[in-house]
């Protein structure tokens, strides 16, 4: 591990930096941000919930861009970016769904409900699981890169729909940022401290995302050069 990081100073700094940022964000969420009056401490989940949802959407957007760039340029590196970003996106969306579920238990009095937002988020999650599944189903690298890129573009249709779901359909999911729906349960207004905490958490997660994708791409590149050495040995 230390050897791995020694080769790349910038990445090492970023890894440490995101670790420190997460510690600060934990402090801000638990201590700095005020307690919400109605929901109490459970509202504090909100910060990580929103931040992980944001990273999920960002990650899938990067997958889309990388897929388009791959189809235009045919550079393998874009395929690596698309794949890595989708993997990270799935992890963050999973966190987003789980944290939302934990929050919903006391506030909505249920772990899960088939609300439009929850449904569209689940669809989005399933789509990118299918994307990763598709990746494992293709052994020929060149063909795989083409096919998964197309699916990476198709899959993205779910992302704006998930984002817009709470705004176009009647839903019980709160819209904290922007206008609010009278039907939503668990609605609240943010104090300035809450806003600061939220923005800080989102920024932290963005840094974390950059660090993770950098690691992921590096690991994949190493895998590729390793198997190149390996197949070379076999070849002789």
Partner 1 sequence: MMKSPQDNTTTKFWQSSLAIIWKDWKIELRKKSLLSSMLIFSLMIVLIFTFALDLDKSARENVAIGILWVTFVFAATLGLNQTIALENENSTLDGILLSPIDQTSILVGKFISTFIFVTIIEAFVMPIYYILFEIPLFSPKLIVVILLGTFGYTLVGTLLATIAMRTQYREIILPILLFPVATPIIISAVQCSNKILSGASWNQMSGPFNLLIVYDIIFVGIAIMTFDHLIKE
Partner 2 sequence: MINLQNVSKSFGLTFVLNDINLKISTGQFTTIIGPNGSGKTTLLRIISGLLTPNTGTVTINGINTATHAYDTRHLIGVISHQSFLYENLTAFENLLFYARLYGINDINSRIKFVLDTVNLSKHQNILISTFSHGMKQKLSIARSILHNPPIILCDEPYTGLDQNSSDNLTRLLQSITYSGNTVVMVTHNLNKVIKLSDQLIVLHKGKIETNEPIADKTLETLIKEYDEITTR
Sites for partner 1 among residues 116-135 (CB under 8 A)? 119-120, 123-124, 126-127, 130, 133-134
Token code pair at residue 145: 């890169």
* CB neighbour list of residue 45: distance below 8 Å, 6 or more residues apart: 99, 100, 102, 103
Q: Compute CA distances 215 → 16, 42, 51, 98, whole Å.
A: 13, 33, 20, 25
Give the shortest CB-224-to-partner 2 separation in angstroms: 7
Token code pair at residue 88: 């990270």
The only residue of 75, 105, 142, 167 in contact with partner 2, by rule CB under 8 A: 142
137 binds, among partner 2, partner 1, none (CB under 5 to 8 A by kind): partner 1
235 binds, among partner 2, partner 1, none (CB under 5 to 8 A by kind): partner 2
Segment interacting with partner 2 (CB under 8 A) among 79-87, 100-108, 214-222, 225-233: 225-233
126 binds, among partner 2, partner 1, none (CB under 5 to 8 A by kind): partner 1
75 binds partner 2 (CB under 8 A): no
Largest CA distance in the chain: 71
Q: Tell me the angle at which helices 192-235 and 76-107 cross, rounded to the nearest 10 degrees.
A: 140
Binding residue count for partner 1, defined by CB under 8 A: 28
65 binds partner 1 (CB under 8 A): no
- Other CB atoms within a 10 A radius of the CB of residue 140 amount to 9
47 neighbors 62 (Cβ within 8 angstroms): no
For partner 1, the binding residues (CB under 8 A) are: 71, 119-120, 123-124, 126-127, 130, 133-134, 137-140, 142-143, 146-147, 149-151, 153-155, 157-158, 161, 168
């Amino acid at each position: 591990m230390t050897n791995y990081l020694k080769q790349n100073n910038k990445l090492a700094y970023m890894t440490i930096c995101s670790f420190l940022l997460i510690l600060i964000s934990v402090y801000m969420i638990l201590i700095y941000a005020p307690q919400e009056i109605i929901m109490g401490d459970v509202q504090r989940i909100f910060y990580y919930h929103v931040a992980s949802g944001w990273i999920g959407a960002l990650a899938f957007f990067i997958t889309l861009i990388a897929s388009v760039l791959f189809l235009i340029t045919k550079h393998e590196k874009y395929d690596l970016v698309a794949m890595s970003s989708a993997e990270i996106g799935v992890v963050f969306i999973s966190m987003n769904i789980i944290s939302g579920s934990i929050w919903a238990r006391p506030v909505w009095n249920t772990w899960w409900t088939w609300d439009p937002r929850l449904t569209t988020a689940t669809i989005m999650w399933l789509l990118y699981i299918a994307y990763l599944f598709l990746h494992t189903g293709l052994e020929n690298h060149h063909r795989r890169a083409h096919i998964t890129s197309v699916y990476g573009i198709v899959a993205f249709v779910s992302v704006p729909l998930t984002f817009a779901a709470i705004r176009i359909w009647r839903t019980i999911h709160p819209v904290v940022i922007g206008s609010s729906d009278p039907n939503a349960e668990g609605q609240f207004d943010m104090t300035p401290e809450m806003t600061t905490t939220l923005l800080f958490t989102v920024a932290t997660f963005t840094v974390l995302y950059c660090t993770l994708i950098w690691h992921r791409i590096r690991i994949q590149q190493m895998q590729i050069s390793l198997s190149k050495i390996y197949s070379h040995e076999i070849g002789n």
